[in-house]
Structure 1
């Protein structure tokens, strides 16, 4: 199955993008990376005969991959162009999700992910407060200005 999956992924990569990187993970998943479009597609074997789990996601700054934004199960018997159409649909969903600031939409009904909120470690300050270091910098600048003015006045 892994040889067939790698061959299928190679053909899909050629249909989807001109520039791509193809590699296989230890789990048997084959990943196609399109760095110029900042997207990735992965093909994983499933328990079913001639079925593959297809996932799509983004490539973040620095080259790391973000978690999958959308996924679906497809038949390998349908042909390469049908698989490419499924991949394009997932990539389009990924692009729409990346453009929106909200949580990723599930690709199948009933598989919604819980939205998590992050709290900042420091509580937000209610108002501005000038710290001791800032006052020392202001005092030093005023001292330099006073010395310059004194030097100019003494020269006259």
Structure 2
């Protein structure tokens, strides 16, 4: 099954993107990476005869893959053009998911603020306090000054200067 997936993925990658990388994933499937479009497509065996699970997602900064945004089971006996059409639809779903605002980022009405959200979410940021020297820093400074004072007393206090 892997060789069939690999051949199908290689043909599919050539139709979808000029620049691509095809490699095997841990689960026995095949991944097509399009670095220039920041997207990936995965073909994995489903257990059914001549079927594959097709997933699509985006690539994150640093080259890691984000979880799949879309998934569908396809019949591999259809032609490459039909598979490419399914892939394009999945990639369009991934792109649409990126443009939709997340619920966490949308602003709630003023009357709803303060209810039903985790602590700290939606509050105005606290003003930064100016930095002051902490008690521990003062203790260290006093100890250093004491050591310097003792050294100065031992050197200059006993010699008669």
Identify whether the pair has TM-score above 0.5, normalized to the shorter chain: yes
SS at 2:37's partner residue? coil
SS at 2:85's partner residue? helix
SS at 1:78's partner residue? coil
Whole-angstrom CA distance in 1 between matches of 2:70 and 2:119? 26
**Equivalent in the alignment of 1:92:** 92
Number of aligned residues = 118
Whole-angstrom CA distance in 2 between matches of 1:11 and 1:86? 14
1:119 offset after TM fit, Å?
7.2
SS at 1:43's partner residue? strand
**Equivalent in the alignment of 2:29:** 29
Taking the TM superposition and a 5 Å limit, the aligned residue runs for 1:33-52 are 33-52=33-52
Taking the TM superposition and a 5 Å limit, the aligned residue runs for 1:11-90 are 11-90=11-90
1:77 offset after TM fit, Å?
1.1
TM-score of the aligned structures, taking structure 1 as reference length = 0.68
Gaps of 5+ in 1: 104-116, 134-156
1:41 offset after TM fit, Å?
0.1
TM-score of the aligned structures, taking structure 2 as reference length = 0.66
Gaps of 5+ in 2: 104-116, 134-161
SS at 1:36's partner residue? helix
- Quick one: structure 1 residues 101 and 24, their matched pair in 2 at CA, closer, same or farther if it must change by over 3 Å? same
1:100 offset after TM fit, Å?
2.2
